[in-house]
Amino acid sequence: MYTTVLILHSLVKWCVLLALILTLYRSYKGYFYNLPYYKIDNSIRHWTVTIAHIQLVLGIILYAQSPIIQYFWRNLKDAFYEMDIVFFGLIHFLLMCWAIIVLTIGSALAKRKLNKKDKYKTTVIWFTIALLIILIAIPWPFSPLSNRPYIRTF
């Protein structure tokens, strides 16, 4: 089960990133061109956060099952000397949780705005912050913190 969830987590990452980029594209465009706030904009915002929450659940399942995390908590003193272990034990987990909180708050605030310009502006600000956090916290193949392949396979 662990391997399957790990692969799903790797694939859903791309769905989250694509949804975030689409939401931000539409929000920046809507804000700067003073476009109406369409129903599709609301749906995309909502589904972006939903996909991010699915990714969070997969991440929590991985966190509970991961041998890296188990080693981290059993050998806390020694684990802090290994950046890869610290990254997944604390940095990745905390930053991603923070990003999901930022997305959720931003989505809730945008949903409650009455003015279309305010809806777009709120989405732009909060979702951009969340995207930046996510981009920092992903273990890219080129990351100095910890690296993993772009897509996990069996």
Alpha-carbon torsion, ordered 2, 46, 126, 25, to 10 deg = 100
139-151: buried (b, 16+ CB within 10 Å) or exposed (e) per residue? beeeeebbeeeee
DSSP 3-state percent helix, strand, coil across the chain (nearest 5):
80, 0, 20
Chain position carrying tokens 């034990």? 89
The model's confidence at residue 151, banded by pLDDT at 50, 70 and 90, is confident
pLDDT band at 38 (very low <50, low <70, confident <90, very high): very high
The model's confidence at residue 112, banded by pLDDT at 50, 70 and 90, is very high
Question: How much is the pLDDT for 147?
Answer: 81
pLDDT at position 154 is 63
Between these two residues, 55 and 76, which has the higher pLDDT value?
55
Nearest Cα to Cα of residue 134 among 93, 106, 79: 93
Q: Which residues are CB-neighbours of 3 under 8 A, at least 6 positions away?
A: 154
Q: Residue 114 and residue 49: Cα distance in Å, rounded?
A: 20
Asked whether the beta carbons of 6 and 28 are under 8 A apart, the reply is no
pLDDT tens, residue by residue, 58-111: 999 999 999 999 999 999 999 889 999 999 999 999 999 999 999 999 999 999
